[in-house]
Amino acid sequence: MNGINGVTQLAFSDVWRVMAPEILLVLGGFLILVLDLFMNKESSRRLSPQLGILFLIAAFVMTIRNFGLVSDQTAGGTGELLNLSNMLYVLDDFGNVFKLLFTAGTALVLLMSIDFFKQNPEVKVAEYTYLMLFATTGAMVMASSLDLITLFVGLELLSISSYVLVAMRRNHAKSAEGGMKYLVIGSIASAMALYGMSFLYGVTGQTNLAYGAQTVIQMWLQFKPLLTLAFLLMLIGFGVKVSLVPFHQWSPDTYEGAPNPVTAFLAVVSKAAGFALILRTFLWGFSGVFGDVYIYLVILAALTMVVGNVAALSQKNIKRLLAYSSVAQAGYLLLPLAVLGKGKSIDNIWLALGQTSFYLVAYLFMTMGAFAVLTVVTRQAGNETLEAFRGLWKRAPFLAVSMAVFVLSMAGMPLTAGFIGKFYIFLGTINTEMYWLGGLLFATSAIAFYYYFGVLKAMFLKDSAVQSHDKIQVPVSLTVTIAIGLIGTLALGIFPDLLMKFLNGLHWFGQ
C-alpha cells in the first residue's frame, strides 16, 4: 500500500492478503460458469459441485491462516495488511470466525446437494453451484465490512443469489411461491435497511461505522429521534434476513418450497451472515449509545423465542416445523447482543461474541444433520409430514438415532451442543442481571421439547406408515453429512472447551 498525492493505492498483493478467501470463491464461481459453457451436460453436472466444494475448502484454509492478526492499520513491519482503504474492509478474528462458518456450511450444503441433483435432473447444477459460491462471498463481505456501502453490497449479493436458489426448481409450484415471497419481502427489507442507513449517513456524514460512531455520540442528544429511527429501520431490515418476529412470515413458506439443501443454506449460512451484519453494525455504529437502544433488541429477542416455539406446536409439516424452530433459534442468538445494554464492558462484549459463535457452530452441525436425515426420509415416504418418520427406528436405526440427537440438541438436551450453547447464553443473561430473559429462554426451550417429542414419538413409538419395511438406503453424500453433524453435535456437547477456549482467546476486532 502506498500513497501518491494523498490518494491511497492498493497493490494486488495487499488485497490478496486481506481478501484471499473471497477472491478464491469469486474465481471458483466464474470458473464453474465458464467450464459449463464448454463441457457436456453430464460432465458439468458431475464436476461442478466437486469444484465448488474444493474452492470452499481452499477458502476455509486461507481463512485459518488469517487468525490472530492484530489490527494496526499498517502494511509493514510484520508484513500483515489488515485494513483496506482506511477501514473500509477489515481483517479481524470476528470476520474470520464467521467466514469459517460460511465456508463449512456451504460445503456441507453442496455435499448434500449431490444427491439432490441425481433426484432432480431438471436442475442446472453449474448455475446452482456458482450461485452458492457467490452467495457465500456476499456473506463473507458482510462479515468483514466496516462501511455501510460495502455491507449493503454484500447483503444484496447474498440476497439475490438466495432468491434464485429458492426458486431453482422452475416447475415446482411451492418452490416458485417461496421464491417470490422471499424476493418481495427481502426486497422490502433491503429498502428499509438502506433507508435507515441513509438517515445515519445524513446525521453523521459518514458511511464508515468506526468514524460515524464518534459522531453518533456527539449528535445523540440533538438528533436522538432521527438516530433511533435509523437504528429501528436497520433493525427491521436485518431482522427480516434472520427471521426475527414479527418479520418472520416469509420463513415457513420459503423453507417449505425451497429444495432441502437450499433450506439448510438459508437456515444456517444466511442466518449466520445476518447475525454477523447485526453484530458488526450495532456494536460499532451504535456502541456509544447502546444503552439507549438495546431495549428494542430485548423485545424482539423475547418475542422471537416465544412466537417461534409456540407456532411450531401446531405444525404437521416437518419443514415448516423446522422453519419455526429456526425462528426461535434466532431469538436465542440475539440474546447475547441484547443483554449488553445492561453490561457493556469490553469483557462482556468478548463473552457475547463467543456465546453467539459457539451457538452458531452448534446450530450448523445439528441443522445440517437434521436436513440430511429429512431428505432421505421424506423422499422415501413421498411426503414431508411427521407421518413420514413413523416407525423410522425399525427401518433405519442410524437415521432415527441421528435425528433424535439433532432435535434433542435443538431443544437443549444435556450432553448435546445445543444445550451447552443455550447454557452459555443463559449465563450471559445472569451475568448482566437480566434474569427474566434467562427464565424465558428455559421456558421456551421446554415448549420446544414438546413439539420435538412429536418427532421422537413418531420414530420410536409408532408403526411405520410406509407399506414396505425394507431398510432405507442412504446415499454416501448424505451419510457423510449426517455423520459430520452427529460427531460435531455430540463432541461440542461433551467437550465444549474444545471450541470455547479457542473463541475466548481470539482478537475479535483485531485488539
| Average pLDDT estimate for 194-213 | 88
Mean pLDDT of 496-511: 83
The rounded distance, in Å, linking the Cα atoms of 181 and 87 is 36
Q: Which residues pair with 385 in a beta bridge?
A: 317
| pLDDT at residue 417, rounded to an integer | 92
- Reference 109, options 481, 501, 484; nearest CA is 481
Q: Are 396 and 473 in contact (CB under 8 A)?
A: no
Provide the mean pLDDT of the chain.
85
Measuring CA to CA, which residue among 290, 276, 232, 299 is closest to residue 140?
Answer: 276
74 falls in which pLDDT band (50, 70, 90)?
very low
Average pLDDT over residues 336-352: 81
Report pTM: 0.90
Q: Which residue has the cell 459518514?
A: 206
Confidence of residue 11 (pLDDT cuts 50, 70, 90): low
Can you spell out the DSSP letters for 129-172?
Answer: HHHHHHHHHHHHHHHHB-BHHHHHHHHHHHHHHHHHHHT-STT-
Position 79 confidence tier, pLDDT thresholds 50, 70, 90: very low
Q: Residue 82 pLDDT > 60, yes or no?
A: no
Residue 468 pLDDT > 80: no
Q: Is the model's pLDDT at 305 over the cut of 90? A: yes
Does the pLDDT value for residue 70 go beyond 60?
no
**CB-based contact 238:278 (threshold 8 Å):** yes
Cα separation, 484 vs 417, in Å, equals 13
- Encoded amino acid at 172, one letter: H
pLDDT average, residue stretch 178-189: 89
Determine which of 269-283, 334-348, 465-479 has the lowest per-residue pLDDT on average: 465-479
pLDDT tens digits for range 371-388: 999 999 888 877 888 888
Residue 315 banded pLDDT, cuts 50, 70, 90: confident
- List, for residues 400-447, the tens digit of each pLDDT value: 999 999 999 998 888 899 999 999 999 888 888 888 988 999 999 889
What is the reported pLDDT for 20?
86
Q: What is the pLDDT of residue 464?
A: 60
**What is residue 73's predicted lDDT score, i.e. its pLDDT?**
41
Q: Which three cell numbers stand for residue 144?
A: 468483514
Instruction: Judge whether residue 467 has pLDDT over 50.
Output: no
The per-residue pLDDT for 13 is: 61
pLDDT > 80? residue 71: no
Residue percentage of the chain with pLDDT more than 90: 43
pLDDT for 317-329, tens place per residue? 888 899 999 999 9
Tell me the pLDDT band of 60, cut-offs 50, 70 and 90. very high
Reported as a pLDDT band with limits 50, 70 and 90, residue 484 is very high
Q: Residue 100: is its pLDDT beyond 90?
A: yes
pLDDT digits 0-9 by tens, 128-139: 999 999 999 999
pLDDT score of 24: 93
From 87-91, 160-164, 455-459, 497-501, the region with the lowest mean pLDDT? 87-91
Taking the C-alpha atoms of residue 364 and residue 362, their distance in angstroms, rounded to an integer, is 5
Of 490 and 65, the structure prediction assigns the larger pLDDT to: 490
